[in-house]
Structure 1
Amino acid sequence: MPASTTPTALASTTMTAFSGFRRIASGTRSEVLAQLRQLPDAASVLLFDDSTGAQLDLDLREEAPAEPEATGEAPRTVGRPKLGVVAREVTLLPRHWEWLGRQPGGASVALRRLVDDARRVHADRDTERAAREATYRFMTAIAGDLPGFEEATRALFAGERERFDELVAPWPEDIRAHLQKLSAAGWSAA
Structure 2
Amino acid sequence: MKRINTDTSKRDKAEVHTALSRLRFSVMAAMTGDFPQHEEALRALYAGNQDRFHQLISDWAPDIRDQFKILSKKNRYELHPNC
TM normalised by structure 2 equals 0.67
Structure 1 or 2, whichever has the larger Rg, is: 1
CA contact (8 A) 2:41 2:52 kept: yes
Aligned to 1:171: 60
Aligned to 2:45: 156
1:117 aligns with 2:14: no
Residues 32-78 of structure 1 show CA distances to partners (whole Å, capped at 9, x for unaligned) of xxxxxxxxxxxxxxxxxxxxxxxxxxxxxxxxxxxxxxxxxxxxxxx
Aligned to 1:132: 21
Question: Equivalents in 1 of 2:73, 2:19: separation in Å?
Answer: 11
1:146 aligns with 2:57: no
Identity of aligned residues (%): 32
Equivalent position SS for 1:166: helix
TM normalised by structure 1 equals 0.33
Give the unaligned 5+ runs of structure 2.
77-83
Relative contact order higher in (CA < 8 Å, ≥ 6 apart): 2
Structure with a larger share of its residues in strand:
1
Residues 1:130 and 1:159: Cα distance change in structure 2 (over 3 Å)? farther
